[in-house]
Structure formats: structure tokens, C-alpha cells
Structure 1
Amino acid sequence: MKLNDFEKTIQQLFGEELLKEDDEYGFTHTTDKEIHKIGYATNLSIETVEMAIAQGVDLMVTHHDAWDFIYGLREACINKLKVHNISHFWIHAPLDFVEFGTCTSLMKVLEVDDIKAYSTYSEAEGELPGIAEFAAPVEFEQLAERMRGALNEPVRAWKNNAQPVKRIGVLTGAGHSSALIREAAERGCDTYVTGEATLYTIQYAQFAGINLLVGSHTFTEIFGVASLAEKIAEMNPDVEIEELKEAHFELNH
């Protein structure tokens, strides 16, 4: 696969509407090298670039670019990519809001039975969480353990109501806004799932009587990146995919 074939695949998978915000995805570095192996991860970091080098990757695909406020990281990563002739592509908001993306993928590993609404974004309403239901209610601690097993890391859990879990709201990564939790509660959710929490997240969930499950930003979102990589491989059978397995550095307690 050539790089322009990869770009065509991305356009087919996401469509014009999701790709209209061109500051939410793109290449940090490109090469002319044929793409035989794609390595995928949530984050662009020195560690994931070094894994890509060790695993013979031609193209890295990540959810996140290096954040501007991690000063100097993007430049350091690009320098390594250049030396080892590896391309890198990142895709943020479109992967959060496509139907096979981060929120949907996490809901599926949590074994929901019915996805009522996908996570969405619009200028009028901003971000909205995905909504899903279990056919048979699940005990809160059972769901917390299911999430811990899927993410293979600690998951913080606050039980803020007495009933078993029936309807959940999900926004992966930095979905910690109290406005998002209010939206989930107003749409009948008894439990909210995300990848970050602040004081306000925890206090508002308690006040609103909605349970709260919080994994890490990285590992609530990796399932969506894996889903994207699998779709790319399905459309380009000559390409091999491999996860660049990140450490559980956010929740090390």
C-alpha cells in the first residue's frame, strides 16, 4: 500500500463530514516508503516510536498527536521518525465520533446489548456521550470488574445510586465534564463511563446520583484505534497491523 492509498482508505472510512475539521487529523511525518506494516497506539510518544522502530513498522497510526503542551515532544518524535524512515498519521475527533470509533468500541468490550446513540459532536450542542443499555441489569461492581479486566488496569468506581446498571453513558478519554455527565443523566443513564476525572466530575456525579466508572485516557480509547487498524487491514489485505503496546502509566497505583 502506498501513502495515497492509505489516505483514500481514511476518506472512505470517515467520509467528508467527519473529516471537514482538518486540524483534528493528519500526518506529522511522511515518507515515500511502501506500507507493509502499520503499528497502532493511542499516543504518539518517544516510547511508541521506539516500539515502531523495533517492530519494523512503516506507518504509525495513533489517536493523539503529541500535545502542544508536552513541550518539545512532537519535534523529538519527528526526529526519530525521520531517522528511521517511518510515517505517522493521527486522527482525533473523527475517531471519537465515527460509528466504529472509541466510544462504540469501549461499549462493545463492556458487553452492552443495545447501542441507543453514538457519541456525536455538533457546533450547536458540542460533544454528546454515547448511550447504551444492557438487556438484563448488571450489578455495578460486576461492571466495574468487567471494565478492569478489559482495560487490564485499575478502574476507579463510585456507586452513587442503589439500582443495578441498566443504561450507561460513555465518552472515552477526557470526558470528565460535569456537563457531559448531566447530559447522560438527563437521557436516563444510571452510570457514566469515561477516561479522566476531576474533583468536579466526582462531586457532580455524586450530587446527580449517577454511578461513575473511570479508567485511563489511553486505555479507554485503545479499542477504537484497534477497530480503525482492523478496518484498514480489511480494506488492504497486503498490510499487516500490530499494536504498539503502551504501559499503564496513568494509573500506576
Structure 2
Amino acid sequence: MNLQQFQQSISTLFPQQLLEDFTGDYGFTSKKNDCISTIGYCTNLSLEVMEQAAANNVDLLITHHDAWDFLYGLQEACVAKLEAYNISHFWIHGPLDMIEFGTCTSLMNELGLSVVRYSTYDDDTEFPGIGEFHLPVSFEQLAGKMSSTLAEPVRAWKNNEKQVKKVGILTGAGHASQHLKMAYEQGCDTYITGEVTLYTIQYAQFLGMNLLVGSHTFTEFFGVKSLCEQLENEHPALRFVPLKESHFELQNA
């Protein structure tokens, strides 16, 4: 596969309107290598990840996040290393959060939830995905399942005594109170995201809605994995390699 064929696959998998809605929130950081036989994937672009990519003979690295602009100098350092290792890099942020097989849905699948409503983007606003258990589970069961799925500790606030039935999810940075409000108005008894602030905690408590928080990295990893599974279905000859990232965000939780 070459990069043009890869771009065609992305255009096939993602609706044009969704890509237009998130113009500038996906694309190539590097097009160094045009002959793709091995794809490596993870959530974040980092220097550590690129060492693994090079060791695994990766031709194309796919991540959810590009190097953040406010991590000053990281973008330039990553580009230099991509060039040195002859690796192309493609990142896809907003479209992967809002596609039906993306970050929210893939985490629901991992936790055993059935999709009630996909995460969506409309009028410059993100709406959390909604999932439901066929049979209610205890809050403790869900917290344990999430911790084992992410392979990391999760922060848990139990704010009601109900069995967990309906769950709102907005992975990554879904900590804004407006997102909790949307989930609550859809009848959710529990909310899951990948970052938390004082306001997230206080508002969940005020609503009486349980709150579960994993890391930004690992609540979103399964979305990148899901994208690669879609690509593998279309290009079965390709080799896909998951790259390991540290659980540094919650190691002291």
C-alpha cells in the first residue's frame, strides 16, 4: 500500500462531512515513507513511541493525537525523528472521536455496553455517546471492569445507590460539565471520561451521577485499534503492530 491508497481508505471509512467538520484536526505530520507494509498504532505521538516503531520496522505510524502545540519543541523533535527513521505519520483526532466505530463506541464494546446513541458532533458541540447494559451491574463491578480493560487504576466516585444501567461516555477530555449534563438528561446514572477537574467531580456529585475516570491515553486507545481493524479488513496483507505507552497519567491515583 502507498500513502495515496491509505488516504483513499480514510476517505472511504469517514464521511466527507465529518472530515470537513474537523478540517485541521487530522492529517499527515510526515510523508517520509510511501511504501507501507507495516503500520504501528497508539494514542499519542511521542519520541518513545517512535523508538518502538523503528524497532518494529514500522513504515506508517497512526495516532489519535498529533504532538500537542503547547508541548513546546516536541513537534519539531518528532518530525526530525520520523525523518531519521524513514517513518510516515498520520493522526486523526476529531473524526475518530465521532465516527461510529471510534473512541466512544470502541470503549463501550470493551466494557460490554450496547450502543444507545453514538457520540456526535453538531453545531460546534460534542455530544457523549450513550450505552446500556442488558442486565444492570454494580458500580463496583463496572469500576473493576474498566480498570482491568484499561490495565490501569481508575478514579471512581459513587454518587448514587442504583445498579448501573445507562452510561454516558466521552473519552479523552470529556470532563466539561455540559457533557455531564447531556448524559444526565439522557437518563444516564453513570458517566465515563478520560480527564477530570474539580468541576467535573462537583457537578457529578450534585447530579447524583456516578463518575469513572481513566486516563486520556487509554480511554482512547481502543478507537485507534478499531480504526486499524477497519484498515486491516480492507488491506489484509498489511502488518499491524500496537505500540506500548506508559500509564503515567494515573500511576499515583
State if a TM-score over 0.5 links the two structures: yes
The 5 A counterparts of 1:2-21 are 2-20=2-20, 21=22
Whole-Å separation in 1 of the counterparts to 2:231 and 2:115:
24
> Would the aligned equivalents of 2:33 and 2:60 in 1 still touch at CA under 8 Å?
no
Q: Give the residue type in structure 1 aligned to 2:15.
A: G
Query: In 2, distance between residues paired with 1:50 and 1:249?
Result: 18
Q: Give per-residue Cα distances to partners, 1:167-209, cap 9 Å, x unaligned.
A: 0000000000011001101110000000000000001000110
User: Residue type matched to 2:83 in 1?
Assistant: K
* Separation (CA, whole Å) in 1 of partners of 2:234 and 2:15: 15
Question: What is aligned with 1:123?
Answer: 123
2:166 paired residue number: 167
Count residues in correspondence.
251
Q: How far apart, in 1, do the equivalents of 2:30 and 2:129 lie? A: 32
Q: How far does residue 22 in structure 1 lie from its aligned partner after superposition?
A: 2.0
Structure 1: 5+ residue stretches without partners: none
Q: Secondary structure at the match of 1:19?
A: helix
Normalising by the residue count of structure 1, what TM-score does the alignment of the two structures yield? 0.98
> Tell me, what secondary structure is at the counterpart of 1:77?
helix
Aligned to 2:205: 206
Task: Check the 8 A contact 1:161/1:210 in 2, yes or no.
Answer: yes
Shift of 1:51: 1.0
Counterpart in the other structure of 1:97: 98
Map 1:171-190; keep pairs closer than 5 Å.
171-190=170-189
Matches of 1:244 and 1:140 in 2, distance apart? 31
Does the 8 Å contact 1:33/1:85 carry over to 2? no
Task: Kindly provide the amino acid, as one letter, of the partner of residue 19 in structure 2.
Answer: L
Q: 1:120 corresponds to which letter in structure 2?
A: T
- Whole-Å separation in 2 of the counterparts to 1:19 and 1:121: 11
Q: How many Å separate the matches in 2 of 1:32 and 1:205?
A: 47
Aligned to 2:195: 196
Distance (Å, rounded) in 2 between the aligned partners of 1:6 and 1:160: 46
Partner AA of 2:71 in structure 1: I
Is the contact made by 1:129 and 1:171 (CA closer than 8 Å) also made in structure 2?
Answer: yes
CA separation of 1:170 and 1:65: change in aligned 2, threshold 3 A: same
The CA distance in 2 between the partners of 1:201 and 1:87, in whole Å, is: 38
Return structure 1 stretches of 4+ with deviation > 2 angstroms: none
2:32–2:82 Cα contact (<8 Å) kept: no
Structure 1 equivalent of residue 66 of structure 2: 65
Q: What are the Cα deviations for residues 146-182 of structure 1, in whole angstroms up to 9, with x where unaligned?
A: 0000000000000001111000000000000011001
Which aligned pairs between 1:29-68 and structure 2 lie closer than 5 A?
A: 29-68=30-69
Alpha-carbon offset, residue 233 of structure 1: 1.3
What is the TM-score of this pair, normalised by structure 2? Answer: 0.98
- Superposition RMSD in Å: 0.8
State how far apart, in whole Å, the 1-side matches of 2:135 and 2:208 are.
Answer: 21
Letter of the 2:58 partner, please give it: V
Which structure 2 residue ranges, 5 or more long, are not aligned? none
Q: Post-superposition shift, 1:31?
A: 2.1
What pairs up with 1:75-154 in 2 under 5 angstroms?
A: 75-112=76-113, 114-123=114-123, 126-154=125-153
TM-aligned CA deviation for residue 32 of structure 1: 4.2
Once residues 31 and 8 of structure 1 are traced to their aligned partners in structure 2, the CA distance between those partners, rounded to angstroms, is: 18
Give the alignment of 1:235-246 within 5 angstroms: 235-246=234-245
> What amino acid is the match of 2:67?
A
Once structures 1 and 2 are overlaid, which stretch shifts more, 200-209 or 18-27? Answer: 18-27
Cα distance in structure 1, aligned partners of 2:28 and 2:107: 26
Aligned-partner SS, 1:213:
strand
The CA distance in 2 between the partners of 1:189 and 1:136, in whole Å, is 15
